[in-house]
């Protein structure tokens, strides 16, 4: 009903989405700074805590509908970070130092095997176990890049951490794809579809990666104005992978690798895609824990702990086994093994993708994985900080 | 602490030290890998040695005692190959060049050695700005007095050596307009520049003990002179050169100094005066700023020639000595460089003009170093 006083707001005031997003970011920013300035804790830990409080595990200020909308944002943020990570993987290095591949295969295979054993001992169904073991191979690319940038760390452990993370993220996506053929067959029973699904997904994603990388080579990335073109290209690639139901993660990571290795000239842009990318990264850390619920801990907490223990041990052993021949000291190997522990948004998206394709999949998967992500996202940044300090590679 | 006694060495033998840049292969900025490289090369058999330098982004290689150009080239080749193989294992690049084109000095880390901590404590930010890369050449001298005679007569040729080796036109991302901007960083140190005009070892000892009694210096190492005597090696050490971009150039420049030394000590073409130093800083500046095109003023008669012309004339005088020393090939390299007027600073500017990227320029520096 219009009246002379319609210009006044309706009572009670109803804050809209922007209000809640703004509030969440404000709190995340403050909490991150508090962690860093007061306790020398990594900012990421602070962002995670706010995500947890903002979501259904806390005050529930951000509801599930919004969290779902945020999925797109996560895809963009993670896609950009994977593109950046891929662009740091020097394949020539791996060719000249094959012990790196040995290290990478050892830590990935050991992780897969030990997580399967650990979860089987916890009576988790075999198919769920296999999915979790595949995802567990991946180290969080988001945290690795964020921590490297924040600490300005450089040196052998940092370089190898980036390389091993790029490789194990790639293994995780491809292995999960192969595991899902088994699920596909169980769920849909169509052999032709089962066989063509991974082919479509992997080859399709690689094709997008190729096109994106070749297009980027035509842009002078150092120039801050053409930087807009780069962001545009990356966003378009993400959108096309969405439209074609391909893997954004695989496409963007591979695009980065192709860009780095097809042309030896350095292809550079601001770390984190500058301030805009940094903001997206914060959003990513917050959102990852938004959908966490305390019931997950009750349902999958113990299995998550077993998985975390097995995974950390496997990664440590895998790295230590080849530390010397690959050219680092055992002390550096120890630090590298520990810094491979983080798990965050990348794993979360792989879990969510599994439920998108197979909505009725075992709820244990989400419970165990989100419990593990909660623990690892809150505690491993500190572990990475300590490891990099221990080895003298952090500058801040 | 009194000055060490001068251990005579075989005249005109020489040794080359090169400080090398360690860069990452992502954006080609300086990176931290010197200790890792040292660990990988420590058990390798090499002529001379490889050692840590003041920051973790530099490493120094040194040949053994050489007598001619080919031996120097072989020694440098072995050292370079050992280092390049180790660097590949660590995914880092190595390159010559007197400065890194775009590193930020504040990003550097001081190596974990007591002497480097002392320097850092004493000189503050200058220590980090000292992340510059030079070539040092030691020339063997028969006795202490002739080392001082050689030192002061070589001073006349300092502009030649600066212009030939210049490879530091860029500093912190900017074109300085200089061919060798590296020497400007050395000049910031209080004990830099020319050595005092002492022509006998006893005069030099007297100067040295006076300096020690002031407490300003503790050993010969605290002098950052362009040329300084190195009594325990029995050499004079020429320190004005930028690290060239390739070992061929480094070896050729070392042999040019070797031939000069023989010419100066045997033919004695110069009579030395303190007044020779009146134009020393001017000539030195011209070489740093304009390279081979810089002006060189003859201190004795005031004649002005470009450094390139001066070198070409000197090469003629050196020819018989080069023949004796078996380093004629080295002087051919020097002559070609001077005739084409393309020192490494010119090469670097050319690459930058073509690529518009200092990152890419450093990458090509690494390729040149490996080849």
Query: Cβ contacts (< 8 Å) between A151 and chain B: which residues?
Result: none
Q: Which phi and psi (to 5°) does residue A175 adopt? A: -65, -40
Angle of CA points A304, A310, A311, to nearest 5°: 85
Query: Is some CB atom of chain B closer than 8 A to the CB atom of A149?
Result: no
Q: A266–B360: do the CB atoms touch at under 8 Å?
A: yes
Q: Among partner residues B27, B28, B36, which is closest to A156 by beta-carbon distance?
A: B36
Query: Cβ contacts (< 8 Å) between A88 and chain B: which residues?
Result: 26
CA distance B282 to A114: 72
The pLDDT tens digits for B59-116 are 999 999 999 999 999 999 999 999 999 999 999 999 999 999 999 888 887 777 788 7
Angle of CA points A179, A182, A188, to nearest 5°: 135
pLDDT band with cut points at 50, 70 and 90 for residue B117: confident
Other beta carbons within 10 angstroms of residue B271's beta carbon come to: 8
Query: Would residue B26 be called left, alpha or beta, if left means φ above 0 and alpha means ψ between -120 and 50 degrees?
Result: alpha
Residue A269: the pLDDT is: 80
Residue A366: the pLDDT is: 94
Smallest CA-to-CA distance from B338 within B291, B289, B301 is with B291
Q: Which of residues 314-333 of A touch B (CB under 8 A)?
A: 326-329
Query: Is some CB atom of chain B closer than 8 A to the CB atom of A71?
Result: no
Query: Cβ contacts (< 8 Å) between A327 and chain B: which residues?
Result: 36, 40, 86, 89-90
What are the DSSP calls for A205-231, one per residue?
HHHHHHHHHHHHHTS-TTSTTTHHHHH
Residue A19: the pLDDT is: 86
Helix (H) or strand (E) holding A97, with range, is none
Burial class (CB in 10 A: 0-12, 13-18, 19+), A121: exposed
Structure tokens of A394?
Answer: 């952090």
Say if CB B140 and CB B122 are below 8 A apart: no
pLDDT band with cut points at 50, 70 and 90 for residue B130: confident
Smallest CA-to-CA distance from B249 within B167, B321, B312, B131 is with B167
Helical packing angle, A156-188 and A126-136, nearest 10°? 150
Smallest CA-to-CA distance from B249 within B338, B311, B355 is with B338
CA distance A322 to A315: 12
Say if CB A141 and CB A166 are below 8 A apart: yes
Residue of A156, A260, A269, A325 for testing the chain B interface, max B β-carbons within 10 Å: A156
Query: Cβ contacts (< 8 Å) between A97 and chain B: which residues?
Result: 88-91
Q: B33–A155: do the CB atoms touch at under 8 Å?
A: yes
CA distance B20 to B369: 10
Residue A69: the pLDDT is: 74
CA-based nearest residue in chain B for residue A85? B26
Structure tokens of A131?
Answer: 């999915």
CA distance A30 to A49: 11
Structure tokens of B225?
Answer: 């002179």
CA-based nearest residue in chain B for residue A84? B26
Residue B110: the pLDDT is: 76
What distance in Å separates residue A332's CA from the closest CA in chain B?
Answer: 10
Query: Is some CB atom of chain B closer than 8 A to the CB atom of A90?
Result: yes
The pLDDT tens digits for B144-162 are 999 999 999 999 999 999 9
Residue A1: the pLDDT is: 59
Q: B360–A93: do the CB atoms touch at under 8 Å?
A: no
CA distance A171 to A176: 8
CA distance B341 to B179: 12
Chain Cα centroid distance, residue B103: 20
Residues 6+ apart with CB under 8 A from A122: A302, A303, A306
CA distance A263 to B282: 45
Say if CB B135 and CB B253 are below 8 A apart: yes
CA distance B165 to B291: 9
Helix (H, G, I), strand (E, B) or coil at B62: strand
Residue A220: the pLDDT is: 73
Longest distance between any two alpha carbons in chain B, whole Å: 56
Smallest CA-to-CA distance from B103 within B83, B126, B129 is with B129
Query: Is some CB atom of chain B closer than 8 A to the CB atom of A265?
Result: yes
Q: B88–A395: do the CB atoms touch at under 8 Å?
A: no
Tens-of-pLDDT digits for all 396 residues of chain A? 577 888 888 888 888 778 888 888 899 999 999 999 998 888 889 999 998 888 888 877 776 667 677 788 888 889 999 999 999 999 999 999 999 999 999 999 999 999 999 999 999 999 999 999 999 999 999 999 988 888 889 999 999 999 999 999 999 999 998 888 888 888 778 888 888 888 999 999 999 999 999 998 888 776 677 778 888 999 999 999 999 989 999 999 999 999 999 988 988 887 777 777 888 888 888 888 888 889 999 999 999 999 999 999 999 999 999 999 999 999 999 999 999 999 999 999 999 989 988 888 999 999 999 999 999 999 999 999 999 999 999 876
Pairing state between β B192-193 and B224-225: parallel
CA-based nearest residue in chain B for residue A263? B360
Q: Among partner residues A96, A152, A154, which is closest to B88 by beta-carbon distance?
A: A96
Q: What distance, in Å, lies between the first and last C-alpha atoms of chain A?
A: 60
Helix (H, G, I), strand (E, B) or coil at A189: coil
Burial class (CB in 10 A: 0-12, 13-18, 19+), B77: middle
Query: Would residue B302 be called left, alpha or beta, if left means φ above 0 and alpha means ψ between -120 and 50 degrees?
Result: left
| Helices (H), ranges, chain A | 17-39, 43-54, 64-86, 91-96, 99-121, 126-136, 141-151, 156-188, 191-217, 227-243, 248-262, 274-288, 294-326, 330-339, 345-357, 363-390
Residue B292: the pLDDT is: 97
Residue A64: the pLDDT is: 64
Q: Among partner residues A152, A159, A393, which is closest to B91 by beta-carbon distance?
A: A159
CA distance A286 to A274: 19
Query: Is some CB atom of chain B closer than 8 A to the CB atom of A226?
Result: no
Q: A154–B90: do the CB atoms touch at under 8 Å?
A: no
What are the DSSP calls for A123-153, one per residue?
T--HHHHHHHHHHHT---HHHHHHHHHHHT-
Q: A155–B39: do the CB atoms touch at under 8 Å?
A: no
Query: Cβ contacts (< 8 Å) between A90 and chain B: which residues?
Result: 25-26, 91
HSE of A320, CA atoms in CB hemisphere, 13 A? 12
Average pLDDT rounded to a whole number, residues B230-251: 97
Say if CB B97 and CB B170 are below 8 A apart: no
Q: Collect all residues from B whose CB is shorter than 8 A from any CB in A.
A: 24-28, 31-33, 36, 39-40, 86, 88-91, 107, 109, 355-357, 359-360, 363
**Which residue would you say has higher pLDDT here, A330 or B128?**
A330
Q: A93–B39: do the CB atoms touch at under 8 Å?
A: no
pTM check: above 0.90: yes
What distance in Å separates residue A289's CA from the closest CA in chain B?
Answer: 32
Burial class (CB in 10 A: 0-12, 13-18, 19+), A252: buried
What is the average pLDDT value for chain B, to the nearest integer? Answer: 94
């Amino acid at each position: 009903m219009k009246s002379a006083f319609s210009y006044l707001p309706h009572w009670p005031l109803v804050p809209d989405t922007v209000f809640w997003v703004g509030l969440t970011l404000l709190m995340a920013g403050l909490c991150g700074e508090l962690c860093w300035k007061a306790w020398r804790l990594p900012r990421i830990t602070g962002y995670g805590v706010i995500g947890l409080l903002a979501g259904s595990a806390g005050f529930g200020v951000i509801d599930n509908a919004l969290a779902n909308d945020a999925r797109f944002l996560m895809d963009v943020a993670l896609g950009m970070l994977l593109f950046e990570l891929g662009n740091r993987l020097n394949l020539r290095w791996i060719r000249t130092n094959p012990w790196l591949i040995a290290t990478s295969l050892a830590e990935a295979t050991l992780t897969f095997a030990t997580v399967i054993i650990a979860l089987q001992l916890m009576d988790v169904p075999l198919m769920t176990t296999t999915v979790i073991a595949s995802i567990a191979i991946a180290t969080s690319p988001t945290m690795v890049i964020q921590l490297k940038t924040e600490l300005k760390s450089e040196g052998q452990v940092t370089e190898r951490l980036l390389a091993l993370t790029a490789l194990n993220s790639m293994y995780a996506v491809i292995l999960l794809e192969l595991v899902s053929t088994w699920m596909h067959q169980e769920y849909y029973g169509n052999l032709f579809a089962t066989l063509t699904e991974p082919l479509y997904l992997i080859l399709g994603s690689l094709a997008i990666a190729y096109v994106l990388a070749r297009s980027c080579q035509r842009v002078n990335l150092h120039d801050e104005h053409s930087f807009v073109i780069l962001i545009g290209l990356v966003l378009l690639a993400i959108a096309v992978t969405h439209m074609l139901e391909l893997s954004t993660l695989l496409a963007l990571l591979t695009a980065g690798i192709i860009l780095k290795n097809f042309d030896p000239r350095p292809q550079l842009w601001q770390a984190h895609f500058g301030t805009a990318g940094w903001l997206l990264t914060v959003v990513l850390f917050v959102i990852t824990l938004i959908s966490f619920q305390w019931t997950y801990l009750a349902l999958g907490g113990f299995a998550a702990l077993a998985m975390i223990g097995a995974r950390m041990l496997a990664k440590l052993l895998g790295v230590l086994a080849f530390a010397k021949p690959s050219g680092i000291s055992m002390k550096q190997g120890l630090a590298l093994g520990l810094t491979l522990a983080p798990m965050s948004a990348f794993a979360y998206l792989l879990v969510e993708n599994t439920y998108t394709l197979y909505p009725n999949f075992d709820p244990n998967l989400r419970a165990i994985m989100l419990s593990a992500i909660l623990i690892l996202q809150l505690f491993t940044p500190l572990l990475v900080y300590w490891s990099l300090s221990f080895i003298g590679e952090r500058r801040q | 602490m009194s000055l060490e006694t001068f251990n005579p060495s075989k005249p005109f033998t020489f040794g080359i030290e090169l400080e090398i840049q360690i860069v990452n292969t992502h954006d080609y900025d300086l990176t931290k890998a010197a200790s890792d490289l040292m660990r990988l090369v420590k058990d390798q058999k090499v002529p001379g040695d490889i050692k840590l330098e003041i920051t973790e982004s530099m490493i120094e290689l040194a040949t053994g005692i050489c007598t001619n150009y080919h031996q120097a080239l072989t020694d440098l080749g072995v050292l370079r190959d050992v280092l390049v193989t180790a660097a590949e294992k660590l995914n880092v690049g190595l390159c010559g060049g007197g400065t890194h084109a775009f590193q930020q000095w504040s990003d550097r880390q001081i190596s974990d050695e007591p002497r480097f901590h002392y320097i850092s404590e004493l000189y503050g930010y200058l220590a980090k700005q000292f992340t510059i890369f030079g070539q040092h050449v030691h020339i063997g001298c028969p006795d202490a007095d002739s080392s001082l005679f050689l030192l002061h007569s070589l001073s006349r040729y300092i502009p030649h050596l600066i212009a030939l080796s210049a490879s530091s036109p860029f500093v912190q991302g900017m074109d300085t307009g200089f061919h060798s901007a590296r020497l400007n960083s050395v000049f910031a140190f209080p004990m830099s520049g020319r050595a005092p005009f002492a022509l006998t070892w006893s005069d030099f000892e007297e100067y040295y003990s006076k300096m020690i009694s002031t407490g300003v210096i503790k050993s010969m190492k605290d002098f950052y002179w362009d040329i300084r005597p190195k009594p325990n090696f029995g050499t004079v050490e020429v320190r004005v050169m930028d690290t060239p971009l390739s070992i061929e150039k480094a070896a050729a420049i070392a042999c040019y100094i070797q031939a000069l030394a023989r010419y100066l000590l045997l033919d004695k073409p110069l009579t030395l005066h303190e007044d020779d130093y009146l134009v020393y800083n001017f000539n030195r500046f011209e070489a740093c700023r304009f390279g081979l095109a810089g002006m060189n003023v003859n201190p004795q008669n005031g004649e002005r020639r470009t450094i390139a012309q001066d070198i070409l004339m000197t090469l003629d005088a050196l020819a018989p000595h080069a023949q004796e020393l078996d380093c004629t090939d080295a002087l051919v390299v020097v002559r070609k460089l001077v005739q084409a007027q393309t020192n490494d600073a010119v090469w670097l500017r050319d690459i930058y003009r073509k690529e518009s990227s200092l990152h890419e320029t450093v990458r090509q520096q690494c390729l040149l170093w490996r080849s």
